[in-house]
Structure 1
Amino acid sequence: MNDVATPHDSTALVTGANKGIGKETARQLADAGLIVHVGSRDPERGRRAVEEIGGRARLLVLDVTDPESIAAAAHQVGDLDILVNNAGIMAEDAPAPESDLDAFRRTYETNVFGVVAVTNAFLPALRRSPRPRIVNISSGTGSLAWSTDPERAFAFSRGAGAAYRSSKTALNALTVYYAQALESAGFKVNALAPGLRRTDLNERATSADGDPAEAAAGAVRLALLPDDAPTGGFFSWDGTTVPW
C-alpha cells in the first residue's frame, strides 16, 4: 500500500477535524492538494482549524449526532471523493459491569450511529466520484483478537473502556459490511487503528507521547489508495494488518 491515487481535483471530508488526528488528517490531505472540508460541530473551533490548516481547507459545520446538521452539510457539499469518519468520543472508561447505560448510548451515538448517518448522507456524492474512498478511524482496542491475546496489554485491562472499545468493534464490522456492499461501485472502505496519540480522548491520551500526525499519515494513505488496493481491511497506522 505504498502507492497512492492521484489527488488531482479531489475533495475530502474529515469529521471531527477541528483537533487531534482529524485536524492532522485534514492538514495532510490539504497539503497533498485536495480540497478538504473540515467537519466541526463547533463553528468557532472549526474556523480556527481552517485558518491553521490554510490552503484548500473549508469549514463544514457538522454534528454527526444531529440529523438536521448532517442533511445540511450533505446539501452543502456537491462533490466528494474521500470521507474520513474520524469523529469519536470516550464517554467513560468503566468496565461493562460498572458502565452507565447513558454513557454507552452517547458513545454509540457518535462512534457508530453517527458513522452510519454521515456515510449514508454523503453516499450520493461519493458515488459520483471516479475513485471513492471511506476511512473509518477505529482503535486497536476494538480488536477482539488483541483483547483476548494474553501477550497484549488489552487483555489485562479487565474489560475497561467497554463502551468505547465495543463501539470500535462495531465500527470494524460496519467497515466490512460497507466494503462488501460498495465494492462493485469501486469503493475502498477500510478501518484504521491509529495507536495511542496525544489527544483529549481521555486522561491516558492527554499525556501520551504519540504524535497525531503520525496516525494521520496512516489515514491519508488509506484515503489515497490506488484502484488495486484492498477494501474491507483493518490496518495499523504503519500499514500492517490488524486482526479483527
Structure 2
Amino acid sequence: MGAADTPDFFSMIDQQARMIVNLARVVADVLQGKESAHSLRLIDLEQHRQELQRRHQAVVDSLPHSGLEEIRSTMEALDRAAAVLIRTARDCLSGGSNPDATVFQMMGVIRKAIESLRHGYTRLANGSTVAEFDADAAIASQRALVCWRTFDDQREVAAAEGWHRTSPSGVSPDRSCRLNGLYENLYDIARELSRAGVILKVWSRQLYGAVSPARLPQ
C-alpha cells in the first residue's frame, strides 16, 4: 500500500475525539437537568459512535497489524470512554441523577482531559514535539479522581459493617447508591482517557524522542 493509499489515522482519531467532546457536553447537560429522557442529541451521538467504531475497526482490520498498535489501542480506549459516557447519560435519564458537587467536579476534570487529548492528537499530527504535555494532562485525570473513589470505597466498607445507615452527610441510602454508581462511571471514563494519554505519550516519544515506557493505568 502506497502513502497515497494509507488511511488518515489522525483524522479518524480526531473524529472520535470530537464525538467524545460532544458527548461530554451532553452528559454535563443531563446532570444539570437540561436534557430530556428522549434526548435527540444523545441518540444521534450514540449512533455516530457506533458508526465510527464499525468504520474504523474495518479500516484497521484490513491492514497488517505491525505498526498499528498505538492507533488500534487509542481507538479502543476512546470508544470505551464514549460507551461509558453514553451509559452514564442513560443511567441518569432513566433513574434521576440528582448529582452532588463531587460529580460536577469529576465531570470538569473529565472534560479537561478530553480537550487535552484532542489538542495532543492535533499537535502530534502537525509534527509538534510537545504533544506529550497534553498527554500528561489527560493521564492526570485518573489520579485526580482516585481520591474520590477511595473515599467511596471507605464509605462502602463502613456501610457493610453497619457503622451507619445513611451517608455522613445525611444522604439517603438510595441516593447514595445512585451516586456511587455515578462516581464509578466517571472514574471508568477517566481511566480510559488516562490510558489514551499514556498511549499518546509513548507515541509522541516514539516519533519525536527517546521512548521511556509508560505503564497503562489499572
Select the structure of larger CA radius of gyration: 2
TM-score (structure 2 length as normaliser): 0.29
- The structure in which a higher percent of residues are helix is 2
TM-score (structure 1 length as normaliser): 0.27
Relative CO higher for 1 or 2, CA cutoff 8 Å, sep ≥ 6? 2
